[in-house]
Amino acid sequence: MNRLTIRPAAALLLALVGCGGEMRKANAGTPLPALEEVTAAEWQRLGGRTLFFGHQSVGANVMEGVAEVLRAHPEIPLRVIETTDPALITAPGLYHGAVGRNGAPDSKLADFGRIAAAVGDSGTAMVKFCYIDVDASTDAEALFARYRATVDSLRARQPGLTLVHLTLPLQVDPGTLFHWRTKLRGKQTPYRTLNAIRSRYNQRMRETYGGREPLFDLAHFQSLFPDGTVGVVRQDGRDVEYLAPELTSDGGHLNALGRQRIAQAFLVALAKLG
């Protein structure tokens, strides 16, 4: 009788894959908002707001998309000004710029706290970490605690300031076989492991602010495939979202389709602020 010979490493790989880690599309997630959902009065109200958005490269992708949407829709009366100089935040508009350094999230919080003070009690402020701010040693709970301490301090000093919270962006997932081949070599998967940490941070963000304060769920919108389903992978007994490959050209930054989809959702979220 012929017998199938399976090498030990291959057997372990099959066993590990069988234990989970499969990539799949979940049911349809929260739909991508449409510009048509915003009334003319809401656009006018947005045009009269003073907002600041601190970011780095993925945020720059979003703002490039915002510029493209505004060029296509001149009826949206929103001024966009790129600056991180508090002295220049003197009139209504969406001010934005790079804060801190990539890989050093505390430096982003420090810059954000300083600049947001210039927005004033009646303004709106938000800061976004980047996927590169998470490495294998990142403690998601501790990172969220530092973010929360920063916004709580701002709120205590400026009780009228509107704070918009953003989830942390994701990277693509290269697939289950790549993941387990890497694990069998004794290495950490440089995407799935990090997305799992980002997911834990994002879950804390959703639990704390979702339904209570303005929350722009960037990570969720990044994980939405064009057909409306959500890309997830099973990791350590929980679903972890990943960046839909159609929305990126390098696995982390947004391509033309990605930035326009996210920018549209971002503008709608800002227009719908109370």
Residue 254 scores a pLDDT above 80: yes
Q: Identify the CA nearest to 263 among candidates 120, 49, 58.
A: 58
Query: Residue 17: pLDDT above 70?
Result: no
| Residue 191 pLDDT | 81
Residue 43 has pLDDT above 50, yes or no: yes
Half-sphere exposure for 47 (CA within 13 Å, toward CB): 13
Asked whether the beta carbons of 80 and 66 are under 8 A apart, the reply is yes
> What pTM, to 2 d.p., does this model score?
0.87
8 Å CB contact between 27 and 84 = no
pLDDT digits (tens, 9 = 90+) for 120-156: 889 999 999 999 999 999 999 999 999 999 999 999 9
When comparing pLDDT for 8 and 203, which is higher? 203
User: What is the sign, positive or negative, of the torsion defined by CA atoms of 260, 262, 263, 265?
Assistant: positive
**Tokens at residue 265, please?**
């959702």
Confidence of residue 10 (pLDDT cuts 50, 70, 90): very low
Give me the residues paired with residue 233 across strands.
23, 240
Spell out the domains of the chain, with CATH numbers in brackets. 31-271 (3.40.50.1110)
> Percent of the chain having pLDDT more than 70?
84
pLDDT (mean) for 187-208:
88
CB 58 within 8 A of CB 252: yes
φ, ψ of residue 242 to 5 degrees: the values are: -135, 160
Give residue 178's pLDDT. Answer: 52
Distance CA 25, CA 233 (A): 8
Rounded average pLDDT over 203-224: 97
Which residues, other chains included, contact 128 with Cβ-Cβ below 8 Å and sequence gap of 6+? 53, 54, 55, 56, 58, 59, 166, 168, 169, 218
